[in-house]
Amino acid sequence: MSEMIKNLLMWLFIAITMFSVFSNFSNEPSITELSYSEFISQVESDQVLSVEFMSDNYTLKGKTVNGESFTTVRPPFLQDDLSETLSEHRVAVTGEKPEEQSILKQLLIASFPILIILAVFIFFMRQMQGGMGGKSGPMSFGKSKAKMLEGGKVKTTFSDVAGVEEAKQEVQEVVDFLRDPSKFQKLGGKIPAGILLTGSPGTGKTLLARAIAGEAEVPFFTISGSDFVEMFVGVGASRVRDLFEQAKKQAPCIVFIDEIDAVGRHRGAGMGGGHDEREQTLNQLLVEMDGFEDNQGVIIVAATNRPDVLDPALLRPGRFDRQVVVPLPDIRGREQILKVHMKKVPIADDVEASLIARGTPGFSGADLANLVNEAALVAARTAKKLVGMEQLEYAKDKVMMGAERKSMVMSESEKLKTAYHEAGHAIVGRSLEEHDPVYKVTIIPRGRALGVTMFLPEEDKYSYSYQSILDRICGLYGGRIAEELIYGQKGITTGASNDIERATELATNMVTKWGLSPKLGPIKYGEETDEPFLGRSAGTAKQGISDETAAIIDNEVKDILGGCYKTATSILSDNLKHLHSMAKALVDYETLDKNQIEDIMAGGEPRAPTSYEDSSETKKKQDPEVGDAAEQN
């Protein structure tokens, strides 16, 4: 409570107290209240000197012959002739003059009901129009839902965006144009009307758009693609018109549309009755971006994870004529991103961002921010004052393999089976030349897996050879084959279900998608799995595959998987001694790092585990075509 309010309350209390005191000690004579019968009795006994009738004709005030004041109320139902009684006993009678109302007061009283009705009507009309701001009422669904940030309010700059240097250079021209348009207009140049930011989730597309607005210091409108589309046809188009009307008033400015694929998807690809509204919204957006009217000074920046589903008219020159790819960062970019996020937490002297960057290929900027945050949480949970390398390594393992489920109770026999399963993955993967090196093996349950074998490539990979895919399939079968060698055919568990699924997917893609089958050649077979979702194939004929071709595909997939299974079986049969040793070590230590695995494969005892690994290995996250590098039970 502020000091002014305290003083106000104190003075109010003092005023009330003083009023009460002065009221009690006032010098006004006391007035006696008489009943009407007592009043008549005193009149008849000649004790009343004077009487004054109040304006209501029922309240009477008077004085007695002794000088005492009194008041009484005449009951309205009495029919006695009081005036004659007062006249007979010579009581002086006076009357109070009725109060005369002013014309203004009479007019106000007469018009009060009309004013009330008019006020209620105006209130509901304002509510229908969206209240004071015109943005929230039930009749305002045709208004744009974009939020506007004035120039200079966005504090994000290019220094806050790391790991996407090429993308920053692409959008730098927009900033230069907004700062000094004459620089380009002198040579007849026109800045692109629209910039489309594409890339995987978490790569920093929205952050880059905010940085453009922060650097240019111009008004910044932000809206999601889903905010345009409603169940009512025409609402989305109305919102687009309203958005551009607002933007023109603030030009030069930036309009940022996040997840534009929600409204800009290929026309005719909708499923269900609601796509007409989306298509009308898209048509209006196309007209506003490059129609008859000029939108000079309004730059549209949009972001999407799926540029392949956008309508071609949206991507033609004059609209989104510049596409900026915001890729996953490379090792140098990851190091820069880590340094940006590490500035927000207290970091110990032993932390080297380059080591963490080498161990996290495939991580997006959001993944790296989550890693640093997890490390800070671990440090706080263990009462550390600084975030050290140990906490960062722990956080990396948690992000890559999932949280440990140490509370899960496993029997010794089940733990030993899991150890053999994971040891099989590790030995087969290590024995193949083009397989990613083993990073860590654990039988501590993480996520939904009873155990995890993690493989990390030595450097960032962007394509995969025929042999590397075969080696990956062999590694996936290593767990099942280890169970079969140790426990026999009847001792195989269901733990390899995910391994078999991924191995089959890899082999099928080799034959039908990547053209790696000698018999079928470089030909794509079958439909894309995402076509029904897009709706494009709903009314078109399917690509036919003959029964003979389908049989060849099945045989080719079976031959690839069978050959890989034989290769993995041969490797584990030759390394049975190492399989037993690694399984025993996993039961004893629960987790083995790459150095301990090397000790076992060399025929020795594994060294004592370290608190964290100075890992120069790298991780490969799931690839949309090749699959996961983390072998999970």
Half-sphere exposure of 264 (CA within 13 A, CB side): 30
Residue 367: closest CA among 357, 377, 378: 357
Say how far apart CA 229 and CA 250 lie, in whole Å. Answer: 24
Strands (E), 11-58: 31-33, 48-53
What is the DSSP annotation of 259-274?
A: STHHHHBPTT---STT
Say how far apart CA 16 and CA 615 lie, in whole Å. Answer: 78
Backbone angles phi, psi at 389, to 5 degrees: -65, -35
Q: Which of left, alpha, beta for 202 (phi over 0: left; psi -120 to 50: alpha)?
A: left
Say how far apart CA 561 and CA 473 lie, in whole Å. Answer: 7
What is the DSSP annotation of 506-558?
A: HHHHHHHTS---TTT-S---S--TTHHHHTTTTTSPPPP--HHHHHHHHHHHH
Which residues are within 8 A (CB) of 251 and not within 5 positions of it... i.e. 6 or more apart? Answer: 295, 296, 297, 298
SS3 318: coil
Of the candidates 374, 422, 483, 484, the residue annotated as catalytic is 422
Residue 277: closest CA among 315, 314, 233: 233
In contact, 308 and 534? CB cutoff 8 Å: no
User: What would the 3-class secondary structure string for 198-218 be?
Assistant: ECCCCCCHHHHHHHHHHHHCC
Other Cβ atoms less than 10 A from the Cβ of 76: the count is 8
Helices and strands of the chain, counted as H and E runs: 22, 15
Verify whether residue 422 is a known catalytic residue: yes
Say how far apart CA 232 and CA 617 lie, in whole Å. Answer: 54
In contact, 131 and 143? CB cutoff 8 Å: no
For the annotated catalytic residues, the residue numbers are 422
